[in-house]
Structure 1
Amino acid sequence: MKEIWLKFLEATGKAFWVEITTEQPRCTYYFGPFASALEAQESSPGYIEDLKEEGAQGIRTAIKQMKPNDLTIDDSMGEIIDPETIPALSGQLFVRG
C-alpha cells in the first residue's frame, strides 16, 4: 500500500526529495522520492556521506516537495563564459555578431 501511495505522490509532484547542492563539483543532486519530509531528512546523511567520499565539497541540503525533471544537474555546464576570455584555437575564427 505504501508503494502505491508513494507512486501517487510522485506522479502529482507531492513527494519529498532530498536536494543536495555541491560547490565542487558545481552540481545539484536529487534523491527520492519519499512519502514524508521526515523520511527524506532521515535518509540525507547517507547521501551526504557518499558525496563526501567522492570528493564533493561545499555540500548543502534541502528537503523539497516537488518532482525533479533530472536527478543530477551539472551546473558547471551552464556557466556563461565571456567570449573575450576564450582562446582562439588554430584554424578557428571567432566573429562577434
Structure 2
Amino acid sequence: MNELLTNLLSALGLAWWVEITTDSPRCLYYFGPFLNVEEAKAHQGGYIQDLEQEGAQNITVKVKRCKPTNLTVYDEKSDRGANKTQISSILK
C-alpha cells in the first residue's frame, strides 16, 4: 500500500526526492521517490557514502518535492576530451 501511495505522489510531483550534485564528476543525481521528508533524509547518508566511495567530490544535498525526468545527469561539457554522454534513467 505504501508503494502505491508513493507512486501516486510521484506521478503528481508530490513525492520527496534526495537531490545530490557533485563537482567531480559534474553530475546531478535524484534518489527516490519517498513518501515523506523524514524517509528521504533517513536514506540520504547511504547515497552520499556510495558517491564518496566512488570518488565524488564537493557533494551538495537537498531534499525536496519534485518530479525528475532524468535520475542522473552528467555534464558532458565539464569533461573535456572524453567521449562521454549524458546518463539518464526512466522512472518506473
- TM-score of the superposed pair, with normalisation by structure 1: 0.77
- Give the CA deviation at 1:7: 1.0
Which consecutive unaligned segments of at least 5 residues does structure 1 have?
A: 82-97
Provide the secondary structure at the position in 1 that maps to 2:41. helix
Quote the Cα distance in structure 1 between the aligned partners of 2:64 and 2:26: 19
Poorly superposed stretches of 4+, deviation over 2 Å: none
Greater C-alpha radius of gyration: 1
* Alignment coverage as a number of residue pairs: 79
State the Cα RMSD in Å.
1.3
Provide the secondary structure at the position in 1 that maps to 2:63. strand
The amino acid across from 1:3 in the alignment is: E
Q: Percent identity?
A: 49
Counterpart of 1:20 in structure 2 is 20
The amino acid across from 1:72 in the alignment is: T
Counterpart of 1:92 in structure 2 is none
Counterpart of 1:38 in structure 2 is 38
Q: How does 1:52-71 map to 2 (within 5 A)?
A: 52-71=52-71
Quote the Cα distance in structure 2 between the aligned partners of 1:3 and 1:27: 28
